[in-house]
């Protein structure tokens, strides 16, 4: 709020003229003297002071309402994000779904059961995402970061998770049949009751995976897999997994 100061009363014109040295400056000095009197009267007008107070109070009201309505703005933003996801459901391409999913996840909104099948989600960043029972069938999620996410009972069949960072993610009970995890970091993932029929696990990092409860990994390719827990490779090969002749693509 602007500080309202009262100006000093100007001297009379008769005294002001005495300081004029050149006649041609009289009109300019007269205008200056007139402006001084106008400023003097306005500075002493109480109504203008009231306007200053009202303007300052209005700013305070606007700030208060801005923060008071912040919850509604967040809800509106979430609604728009869900609208983007649902509108593009079943369609290929991105369609703004990467930004929508990341925004919801950043606000700790549950993504349980979200359907992004067939979507192009390359580079998606969903750390600690709640994606239980999500449908990512045939989705392209290459180079994504889904660290410590919950993908329990999710449908990831035919999904492309190449070179993804899936550290400590739960795939418990998930369908990973025909999924491509080539070069992915699967350190610490939970594969209990997961189905990995014909899943590409080549060149993956399997450090500390929970594998003893795997439902099936028939024809899963584990060629070049690194840091596998003791006993996993032998068990996998006995239960239908394979190692292709080349560890590279």
- Write the CB contacts of 45 (distance below 8 Å, at least 6 apart in sequence): none
- In this structure, the dihedral spanned by the alpha carbons of residues 136, 140, 145 and 146, taken in order and rounded to 10 degrees, is 10
Helix axes 70-87, 97-106, angle to 10 degrees: 140
Question: Which of 158, 150, 153 lies closest to 197, judged by CA?
Answer: 158
> Could you tell me the pLDDT band of residue 249, with boundaries at 50, 70 and 90?
very low
Residue 248: pLDDT band by 50, 70, 90 thresholds?
very low
Confidence of residue 118 (pLDDT cuts 50, 70, 90): very high
| pLDDT, tens digit (0-9, with 9 covering 90-100), for 44-102 | 666 556 666 666 666 676 666 556 555 677 888 898 999 999 988 877 788 899 999 99
Mean per-residue pLDDT, 118-145: 96
Element (H, E) at 27: helix 26-43
- 155-170 pLDDT, tens per residue? 999 999 999 999 999 9
C-alpha–C-alpha distance, residues 142 and 53, integer Å: 59
In DSSP terms, which residues pair with 226 in a beta bridge?
205
Residue 3 has pLDDT above 60, yes or no: no
Q: Which of 128, 144, 77 is nearest to 136 (CA)?
A: 144
Mean pLDDT estimate for the chain:
85
- pLDDT reported for residue 35: 74
C-alpha 162/C-alpha 136 separation (Å) is 14
CA 154 to chain centre: 22
Instruction: From 194, 241, 244, select the one nearest 220 (Cα to Cα).
Output: 241
């Amino acid at each position: 709020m602007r500080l309202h100061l009262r100006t000093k009363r100007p001297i009379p014109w008769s005294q002001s003229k005495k300081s004029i040295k050149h006649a041609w400056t009289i009109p300019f000095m007269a205008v200056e003297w007139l402006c001084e009197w106008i400023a003097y009267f306005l500075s002493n007008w109480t109504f203008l002071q009231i306007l200053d107070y009202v303007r300052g109070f209005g700013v305070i009201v606007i700030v208060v309402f801005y923060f008071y309505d912040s919850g509604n703005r967040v809800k509106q933003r979430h609604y728009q994000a869900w609208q983007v996801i649902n509108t593009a459901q079943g369609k290929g391409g991105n369609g703004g779904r990467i930004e929508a999913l990341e925004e919801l996840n950043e606000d700790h909104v549950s993504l349980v059961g979200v359907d992004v099948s067939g979507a192009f989600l390359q580079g998606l960043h969903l750390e600690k995402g709640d994606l239980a029972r999500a449908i990512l069938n045939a989705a392209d999620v290459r180079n994504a970061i889904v660290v410590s996410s919950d993908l329990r009972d999710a449908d990831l069949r035919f999904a492309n998770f190449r070179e993804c960072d899936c550290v400590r993610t739960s795939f418990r009970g998930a369908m990973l049949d025909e999924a491509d995890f080539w070069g992915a970091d699967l350190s610490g993932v939970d594969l209990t009751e997961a189905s990995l029929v014909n899943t590409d696990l080549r060149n993956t990092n399997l450090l500390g995976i929970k594998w003893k409860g795997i439902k099936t990994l028939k024809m899963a390719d584990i060629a070049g897999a690194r840091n596998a827990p003791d006993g996993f490779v032998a068990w996998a090969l006995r239960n239908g997994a394979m190692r292709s002749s080349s560890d590279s693509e």
